[in-house]
Amino acid sequence: MKRNDLQLYFIMGTGNVLNKKPITVLEKALQSGITMFQFREKGPNTLTGQAYENFARECQKLCQQYNVPFIVNDDVELAVKLGAEGVHIGQEDLPVSMVREKIGNMILGVSVHSQTELQTALQYGADYVGIGPIFSTTSKNDAKPPSGTEFLQQVRIQYPELPIVAIGGINCLNAHTVCKAGADGIAVISAICESEDISNTVSTFKSLFTDS
């Protein structure tokens, strides 16, 4: 994978979007220049069965039109079935080794919160790691307490070439701190799902990682 693909990593499921059509939000985000997308259909009242798969396919098709990698959260079977570009897993999901075995050389992203988790992820060939929640978030029910940027900074110093994406409570006002701490990019849900002006939000975020 290209490290630059992590610059602005948008994550969305139907549960994250109020008063708008989720697919319209994704299309606007793609038009505006997001660099990676994660399909994350989790939480109460989310789609199941055929509707779940259909929505995933719809999102994938749009990502293909914009040439943006389509990553599936957790659901390895779905990722393989759809021929997604990759899978992202947390620590509650299948072990990293098992996921790597099932997905071959697809992109594998792993959320890590400690050295031990980081070492396991690297041992089994994670292509990138997600570090968070940097700030407090309301988008993940079981999120850990906010960690700040210390661990992120440590990992960057330890592994200068490792693709790292920061996540959790990141918005246009605080994103510069994770950029300074060494992240290759940011992953966001609410900053885009709840934006009144997606195009402006996307360019604000991207300018942090492209201007220096």
* Residue 180 designated active-site: no
* Residue 32 designated active-site: no
Q: Is residue 69 involved in binding ligand 3NM (CB under 6 A)?
A: no
Q: Is residue 80 involved in binding ligand 3NM (CB under 6 A)?
A: no
How many residues make contact with ligand 3NM (CB under 6 A)? Answer: 17
Q: Which of 47, 94, 143, 172 binds ligand 3NM (CB under 6 A)?
A: 143
Q: Which of 110, 162, 165, 167 binds ligand 3NM (CB under 6 A)?
A: 167
Shortest Å distance, C-beta 141 to ligand 3NM: 10
* Residue 140 designated active-site: yes
Distance between CA 70 and CA 55 in Å, rounded? 13
Shortest Å distance, C-beta 194 to ligand 3NM: 8
The contact mask relative to ligand 3NM for 110-139 (x = CB under 6 A, - = no) is -x------------------x-xx---x-x
Binders of ligand 3NM in range 7-46 (CB under 6 A): 11
Q: Is 137 annotated for ligand binding?
A: yes
Q: Is 185 annotated for ligand binding?
A: no
Q: How many CA atoms lie within 13 A of 170 on its CB side?
A: 34
The residue range among 1-9, 60-68, 78-86, 165-173 that interacts with ligand 3NM, by the rule CB under 6 A, is: 165-173
* Three-class DSSP labels, the chain: CCHHHHCEEEEECHHHCCCCCHHHHHHHHHHHCCCEEEECCCCCCCCCHHHHHHHHHHHHHHHHHCCCCEEEECCHHHHHHHCCCEEEECCCCCCHHHHHHHHCCCEEEEEECCHHHHHHHHHCCCCEEEECCCCCCCCCCCCCCCCCCHHHHHHHHHCCCCCEEEECCCCCCCHHHHHHCCCCEEEECHHHHCCCCHHHHHHHHHHHHHCC
Q: Is residue 164 involved in binding ligand 3NM (CB under 6 A)?
A: no
Q: Which residue positions form the known binding site? A: 38-42, 73-74, 93, 111, 137-140, 169, 189-190
Catalytic positions, written as ranges: 40, 111, 140
Q: Which residue positions form the known binding site for Mg(2+)? A: 74, 93
